[in-house]
Amino acid sequence: MKTSGGTGLNVGPFPSVPATLGVDLDWSKGVEVKCNIGAGSVLRYIPRGYSAALYKSVAGNDKQVDATGIVGDNFVVESVLLANKFDVEFVSTDEFDADFQAKIDAINAVPNIGGKLKINNVTKKSVIAQIDGAISYLVALGVARWSDFDLD
């Protein structure tokens, strides 16, 4: 499976829409994805007991929570992780080509993007997205299935 764009990385302030950066990663060739979160990160959450109480109050009928009735087939967000200093590294089984490096160089040339993307020139098999700034970005979501709240 191939994905393109920000590879899940937002380059605008939260809440933001991921920018299309034109960088393609073939996730089927991924060996490892590492994420490091820096100082100043913030975890915001809704205690699971609140979501369970909502589930119980409507007897699990998601249509009472959302008229479209799609909640029951989806996940409910329980937590969000915001950070202004973090990096994500994607390690591939294959080396990235010169075209990929040119795209990374073009992204790095954009002023005030809020962070830089760079390729690890030692192995040419990893790319690191680094953010270090004053703006907080959405890094991760913690979720649970609606049906997980059925505690009976």
Query: Burial, 92: exposed, middle or buried (Cβ in 10 Å; 0-12, 13-18, 19+)?
Result: buried
pLDDT of residue 65: 84
Mind listing the pLDDT tens digit for each residue in 90-137? 888 988 888 888 887 877 777 765 455 556 665 788 888 888 877 788
Report, as an integer, the average pLDDT of 127-151.
82
Predicted model pTM: 0.62
Q: Is the pLDDT of residue 138 over 70?
A: yes
Tell me the C-alpha to C-alpha distance, in Å, between residue 22 and each of 5, 62, 66, 109, 131. 5, 38, 36, 14, 18
Backbone torsions φ then ψ of 141, nearest 5 degrees: -120, 140
pLDDT of residue 48: 76
Mind listing the pLDDT tens digit for each residue in 12-61? 443 443 445 566 777 788 888 888 898 889 999 888 788 888 888 988 88
Residue predicted with more confidence, 41 or 73:
41
